[in-house]
A and B are shown apart, each in its own frame.
Chain A
C-alpha cells in the first residue's frame, strides 16, 4: 500500500476550522482515502472516506484534488473534544480491508 504523510501535530482554538492535509503521491487506482480519529485510551474511529472530489458528512469534509495525490480533512468549528490523533490511510479492497496506519496528526484544541 502507498505511504501517507501528514503533519505530526497541529494546534487550534475552539471555534476555528481545522484543515489537515495528507500526501499520498503513490496512491493506486483502487485505493480509497480514509480518515480515522483516535482519542486517548480508545480505539480509532472512522470519520470519513472518499475516492475523488469532495465528501461531506455530519462530522467532517474531505477534499480530494483531481490527481488524488493529496487529501484534506476539514473539521468545521472545532471544540475541545476534537482533541485527538487523526490518521490518514489508504484502503484497498483486494488487501482484505487491511489498513496501514501512519503516525497520525495530533490535534490539540485550546480554549
Chain B
C-alpha cells in the first residue's frame, strides 16, 4: 500500500522569495515519486520525478526536490518564486519495482505568489 501526505494545503510567498512545499510518503516498495502542477483550468503537468537514481532531482521552471528515505520525505523547492508559479501542486507516489504505474495523489498544495 502507498500513501502521500502534503503537509500544507495552502502556501503563500512573495515574488522572489524561496518556495517550500512539503510532502511525506509511505510505500511498501522503493517508490517512484513525482510532483505535478495544475494551473487554473489547465491539465496536470509533470514537474519532476524520482525513480531511485540521484536523490536530488531537478525539474522544469527551476524547481527541484530531494528524496530523503530516512525521513520519508520528498519536499519541493524553488529558490525564487515567480508570479507564474501560482498554481496547485500535487505530490504523487507510484508503485515501485516492476509494478505498474498506478499513481496515488496527495491532497494538493495551493501556492499563492504575491507581488
A, B in one complex: no
- Chain B positions within 8 Å of A, measured between CB atoms, are none
Residues in A lying within 8 Å of B, measured CB to CB: none
